[in-house]
Amino acid sequence: MKILVMQLARFGDIFQTWPVVKSLKRNYPNAELHFLCRKTFSGAISPVNCLDKILQLDVEDNINFILESTSNEPDTSKITNYLDGLKDEKYYQIINLSYSPLSSYITSYISDEKTDVRGFTRHEDGALDIPDDPSALIYGQLGVYKFNRIHLTRLFSAVAGVDLLEEDWGVSEAILAEGALRITNLPKRYLSVHIGGSTSEKLLFAEQWSEILNKLAKSNPELSFVLLGSSAEKEFSNKIINRFEKAYRFRENAATGYDVKDLELPDAEDLPSIIVSGRFHDIYLKYTNGEYLDDNEKEVIISFLSLLENEIYRAEKKGRFILNSDSFDFFDQLIPTRIDLKHLENIKSNKIVISKLVEDSKNRELKDAIFIDDDGKKVQDDLILTNREVEKMSKSKYNVVNPDAICEEYGADSLRMYEMFLGPLEQSKPWNTAGITGVHSFLKKLWRLYHTGANDEFTVTDSPSSGGGKGEDPSAENLRTLHKTIKKVEEDIENFSFNTSVSTFMICVNELTAQKCTSRAILEPLAILVSPYAPHVAEELWEKLWHSESISEVPFPKFEEKYLVESSKEYPISFNGKMRFTLELPLDMAKDEIESTVMAHEKTQQQLQGRTPKKVIVVPGKIVNIVG
Amino acid sequence: MKLSSFSEKELRDQLEKLETTSKKILETSGYTKEAKRVLVLQELVREQLTNENISYATSKIR
């Protein structure tokens, strides 16, 4: 049985493939394990001694061959030989761990219907095939400035279908003994940091690296670091280390005790002599808060937004919008274009009001478009018939909604909260912006709760019991509303039931508004509760509440059961079965006391008009009925 | 001849040639083996033109 692991990316990704390769060999000891990478980077995998064959894709050689060809048609003979050679290996399994059009085309070429393909490949029509969720996650976190990353090695192992053990992450004693790494005393546990990067966006300056290392060191006193880079980056790594040590001593005023090594990677041509593997962590992950991310298993819920939408088709390069694809074969390519339901003639109609669509649209291309009917003639009236479809939001379907317009109109908090409000996270949900105004209004109402003064001035009163303010202490009602909200939101967050949290906020704000609550003791915790859902609004309110630190750094409010215990009951008082008024009485009041209090009440006397009732029925905690 | 000695124009011309060929095959015969071969070459050339020139081990920018 032959297994091919394909990794056509660069150093960083190849390093991250090491543990997966080791795990594959452990899981399939009798399988012949091959590894395909670019020739330039093949040295990065060479110290992994469990591979049976390292196959190299010589990019330069192939390109030179076709560039030197004088033929008018591209000469594919060289690449054909190479690809056919790979195909002849008849791999039982091909694991493509790189995302690139190139790797998916190669996977598609060298596999057949019997091959167990994992990772990116191509459909029968050549469209990109992302066959599993881990690959979709790799696709989703491509690029820079994406902080919610999942450790790439973990994703690679999920694509390959293997588990990783502690031993898979480290460098084996055998490799160290071979001397190929030019180092013999690696720390027992360390974080390896690849300081290289292929583009300027992926690079950090020495100051930034040293800051990251400092933060990591502070939160993990036992942690050592190993820096990886090419020989060209040797000087750069020294800079990082110098800054790191200085900064740390300055901050802690103590000896570092940290083991910082810099290991040198030679240039591409010299690579077979060295590589270090350790625990590879995407350093960007925690750059924002400086915490060291151990291999916490975090639950990932993938939520799809689907579209109930009407669509027209955009003819690429022609700037024309047409009814459907059947009638128009003269356009280059027809791309369905999403039309918001609000532009329909009415919600049941499939006709779109063109003037409304054009007026609302921020798409310049749409503004200049010519609308054509089924017969290829320009639409004369203002209505155009469209198709309606329900489908997942996906780049390949050209139906992804650009959130910028929504953010501009309603704000990012409204969008964020509305996405949460759409329905249970794990279920597919139709995307319909018609409801976003509701959430937007709620946020405005939340804002108004804190701005009840003259001319909508910010007004929050401090409780006398909490520091001598002139306001009133929060009422039992206020506290009940707050704590039932804390309880519900806490449970909802645990269960990823964010939509019900938003409903709870709406109920809470309605109740507090009705209660005319201005107490800091209530409004401060409420801002914290809301902050994960509407961070910008919450942060603004937090600043107005005279806090200098960010709301994201304060602890979550603590739920206290005692505030939810009802101490009184609003009894309905009925006469001969008909409720006439209500009376609030303590819940622990005895039956006799309830009867005497009700009978003594002036409204009871008014109802009885001097009569003596035949019977008084008292059900404690429920009802009082006076008969006769 | 080393890859680096080719100009960007030569690479672009070659890419255009490959794109025309692959498009023609896809339109006439579909996603065949020949189409796949041309698409592999096409991507190999395209990679040299983007920001991420794969022929360098690490970025020269810092």
Tens of pLDDT along A552-608? 889 999 999 888 887 778 888 998 888 888 888 888 888 888 999 999 898 998 888
The CA distance from B37 to A104, in Å, is 12
Among partner residues B41, B43, B57, which is closest to A76 by beta-carbon distance? B41
Q: Are strands A93-96 and A116-119 parallel, antiparallel or unpaired?
A: parallel
Confidence class for position A44, pLDDT limits 50, 70, 90: confident
Nearest chain B Cα to A123, which residue? B31
Domain A567-627 listed as CATH 3.30.565.10? no
Domain boundaries, chain A: 2-142+150-164, 170-286, 305-400, 422-563, 567-627
pLDDT for A301:
40
Fold classified for A2-142+150-164: Rossmann fold (3.40.50)
The CA distance from A280 to A22, in Å, is 14
CB-based contacts of A525, cutoff 8 Å, min separation 6: A482, A486, A557
Confidence class for position A468, pLDDT limits 50, 70, 90: low
HSE of A30, CA atoms in CB hemisphere, 13 A:
1
Q: Higher pLDDT residue, B3 or A390?
A: A390
Confidence class for position A200, pLDDT limits 50, 70, 90: low
pLDDT for A479:
92
The CA distance from A304 to A425, in Å, is 8
Which residues of chain A neighbour B26 with C-beta distances below 8 Å?
Answer: 126
- Nearest-neighbour CA in chain A from B44: distance (Å): 7
The CA distance from A295 to A627, in Å, is 71
Position A457 pLDDT exceeds 50? yes
pLDDT for B58:
43
Nearest chain A Cα to B8, which residue? A67
- Nearest-neighbour CA in chain A from B3: distance (Å): 6
Which residues of chain B neighbour A270 with C-beta distances below 8 Å?
Answer: none
The CA distance from A482 to A399, in Å, is 41
A424, A499 contact by CB (below 8 A): yes
The CA distance from A151 to A284, in Å, is 11
Question: Which of the residue ranges A70-79, A286-295, B37-46 has the most confident prediction, judged by mean pLDDT?
Answer: B37-46
The CA distance from B52 to B8, in Å, is 14
The structure's pTM equals: 0.49
The CA distance from A349 to A356, in Å, is 15
- Nearest-neighbour CA in chain A from B22: distance (Å): 10
Do A108 and B36 lie within an 8 Å CB cutoff? yes
Locate A320 and state its tokens: 């024309």
Question: Which of the residue ranges A12-16, A388-392, B58-62 has the most confident prediction, judged by mean pLDDT?
Answer: A12-16
Question: Which of the residue ranges A234-243, A282-291, A574-583 has the most confident prediction, judged by mean pLDDT?
Answer: A574-583
Do B40 and A109 lie within an 8 Å CB cutoff? yes
The label of the residue with tokens 């940091």 reads: A193
Position A13 pLDDT exceeds 50? yes
pLDDT for A564:
85
Task: Give burial (CB, 10 Å; 0-12/13-18/19+) of A99.
Answer: buried
pLDDT for A445:
94
Pick the CATH number of A422-563 from 3.30.70.270, 1.10.730.10, 3.40.50.11310, 3.40.50.150: 1.10.730.10
pLDDT for A314:
42
Mutation site for A-interface testing, chosen from B40, B45, B52, B53 by largest number of A Cβ within 10 Å? B40
- Nearest-neighbour CA in chain A from B35: distance (Å): 9
- Nearest-neighbour CA in chain B from A269: distance (Å): 9
Is this complex scored with an ipTM above 0.85? yes
The CA distance from A596 to A586, in Å, is 14
Q: Higher pLDDT residue, A15 or A33?
A: A33
pLDDT for B37:
94
User: Of the candidates A478, A468, A466, which has an alpha carbon nearest to the alpha carbon of residue A512?
Assistant: A478
- State which H helix or E strand residue A407 sits in: helix A403-410
- What does the H/E/C string look like for A581-606? EEEEEECCCCHHHHHHHHHHCHHHHH
- State which H helix or E strand residue A104 sits in: helix A101-110
Among partner residues B11, B38, B40, which is closest to A106 by beta-carbon distance? B40
pLDDT for A229:
62
Farthest CA pair distance, chain B: 47
Do A67 and B10 lie within an 8 Å CB cutoff? yes
Position A161 pLDDT exceeds 60? yes
pLDDT for A240:
81
Q: Are strands A568-575 and A623-627 parallel, antiparallel or unpaired?
A: parallel
Q: What is the pLDDT of residues A478-500, one digit of tens each?
A: 999 999 999 999 998 888 888 88
Phi, psi of A280 (to 5 degrees): -90, 120
In sequence order, the β-bridge partners of residue A191 are A225, A279
Nearest chain B Cα to A232, which residue? B58
Which residues of chain B neighbour A199 with C-beta distances below 8 Å?
Answer: 51-52, 59, 61
Confidence class for position A455, pLDDT limits 50, 70, 90: confident
The CA distance from A314 to A339, in Å, is 11
Position A462 pLDDT exceeds 70? yes
Residue A468, SS3 per DSSP = coil
The label of the residue with tokens 């990353």 reads: A149
The CA distance from A174 to A48, in Å, is 10
How far CA A315 is from CA of A311, A325, A334, A379, A393, in Å, comes to 13, 9, 5, 16, 20
- Average pLDDT of the segment spanning B4-15: 76
Do B57 and A73 lie within an 8 Å CB cutoff? no
Helix boundaries (H) for A456-588: 476-494, 498-514, 520-530, 535-544
Position A331 pLDDT exceeds 50? no
User: Of the candidates A142, A141, A94, A140, which has an alpha carbon nearest to the alpha carbon of residue A119?
Assistant: A94
Q: Are strands A305-315 and A334-339 parallel, antiparallel or unpaired?
A: antiparallel
- Average pLDDT of the segment spanning A205-223: 73
Confidence class for position A282, pLDDT limits 50, 70, 90: very low
pLDDT for A538:
95
- Average pLDDT of the segment spanning A374-386: 68
Question: Which of the residue ranges A240-249, A499-508, B3-12 has the most confident prediction, judged by mean pLDDT?
Answer: A499-508
